[in-house]
Amino acid sequence: MATDYFGVLGLTRGASDSEIKRAYRRLARDLHPDVNPDPEAKERFQEVTRAYEALTDPEKRRIVDLGGDPFDTGGGGAGGFGAGGFGGLGDIMDAFFGGAAARGPRSRTRAGRDALIPVELELDETVFGTTKEITVDTAVLCSTCTGAGTAPGTHAATCTTCSGRGEVQSVQRGFLGQVVSSRTCPSCGGTGQVIPEPCPECAGDGRVRARRTISVKVPAGVEDGMRIRLSGQGEVGPGGGPAGDLYVEVHERPHPVFTRDGEDLHCRVTLPMTAAALGTTLSLKTLDGEEDLDIRAGTQSGSVITLRAHGAPRLRATGRGNLLVHVEVATPTRLDAEQEKLLRELAALRGEDQPESHREAQGGLFSRVRDAFNGR
């Protein structure tokens, strides 16, 4: 039966990509071996990582949606003749009419699976790039038997059950005549060989689990959710087979000042109304260092000032994005007597202290709204 990978992540079938991503992040942070030493948590982390890989890879997801298991090496896939014990139409014809030609033993050595590990980075690390030392827990080649699976000084032997063919046959008589069927040898698992004395280190698997530290070069401009591929750094396969790839998924931590939108960065500054009216120069701390930000006289709340080439680098092109500074003008909520007197004098000088001026301002606003509705 195929594994319910949605259930492994605590989701219902048909969950969106964003829901899958959020569920995996939540579980991976709790179960990762670096933060949770419980052996059961380690196994659960591997299950969760496998489920995430199955649901985010388009080809594997297609197999899951068809009711199959993308990691099933038994040939069942998403159904069809392979799931019922026959390899295809030729096997069915052989079974009924006596062909049943032996397919031969399969190799004990098989390619390993890919592995996926999350890494959390600060905003400046994703913008400018960095090199990270990460710890991974994967299957590696057994140093004692170098993948052979046999104890030192011993060798694999031909399977006596199938005589090295990897298959056993059975013959039955039916209404169509003699029926010959083949199945994988239960003694050797289809390899045609058995290991009389397994390696004491890996128990005959040719690989062991080990924790190791590797360096990951993070390119400048990566974004949250992107994956960095490290070829041959994944799981070593059974029998010492070639290792799969390791995918490092970038998780960008929230920044207290800046937010990111692709290649552009955003931040907010708050100005007193006097500075916005008269103009000023602010010292703004950006990811590149201190920058002078010129505020023009009469700047309105909601204005955006652009600092060009102060954003994130473009991964597949030259240049950088921009830093967009959003200006908010703060209106004082409390005034002492002297401040209130000065503001009233300013209002009088500008002719803004008369009721007529407020009505005119309102009338101007209403006329603009009316004109907008009338299409003027």
| Same-domain status, 72 and 2 | yes
DSSP of 37-69: --HHHHHHHHHHHHHHHHHHSHHHHHHHHTT--
**Total domain count for the chain?**
3
Tokens encoding 165: 């063919």
- Residue 73 is predicted with a pLDDT of 52
When pLDDT is cut at 50, 70 and 90, the band that residue 89 belongs to is very low
Share of the chain above pLDDT 70, in %: 82
CATH of the domain at 29: 1.10.287.110
Binding residues: 142, 145, 159, 162, 185, 188, 199, 202
Q: Which residues contact 338 (CB under 8 A, 6 or more apart)?
A: none
| Same-domain status, 72 and 1 | yes
DSSP E strand boundaries for the chain: 115-121, 130-141, 157-158, 167-174, 177-184, 193-194, 207-218, 227-230, 246-252, 259-261, 264-272, 280-286, 289-295, 304-307, 323-330
Domain that holds residue 282: 259-331
Binding residues for Zn(2+): 142, 145, 159, 162, 185, 188, 199, 202
List pLDDT tens digits, range 341-357.
Answer: 998 998 899 888 765 54
List pLDDT tens digits, range 295-308.
Answer: 999 999 999 999 99
Across 115-123, average pLDDT: 94
User: Does residue 81 register a pLDDT over 90?
Assistant: no
Query: Among 65, 84, 103, which residue terminates a domain?
Result: 84
| Same-domain status, 24 and 3 | yes
List pLDDT tens digits, range 65-75.
Answer: 777 788 765 44
Tokens encoding 31: 């179960």
Query: Which of these ranges, 65-74, 94-103, 268-277, has the smallest mean pLDDT?
Result: 94-103
Q: Which residues contact 170 (CB under 8 A, 6 or more apart)?
A: 180, 181, 183
Strand, helix or coil for residue 198: strand
Query: Among 84, 110, 128, which residue terminates a domain?
Result: 84
Across 53-58, average pLDDT: 85
CATH of the domain at 289: 2.60.260.20
Query: Among 84, 102, 125, which residue terminates a domain?
Result: 84
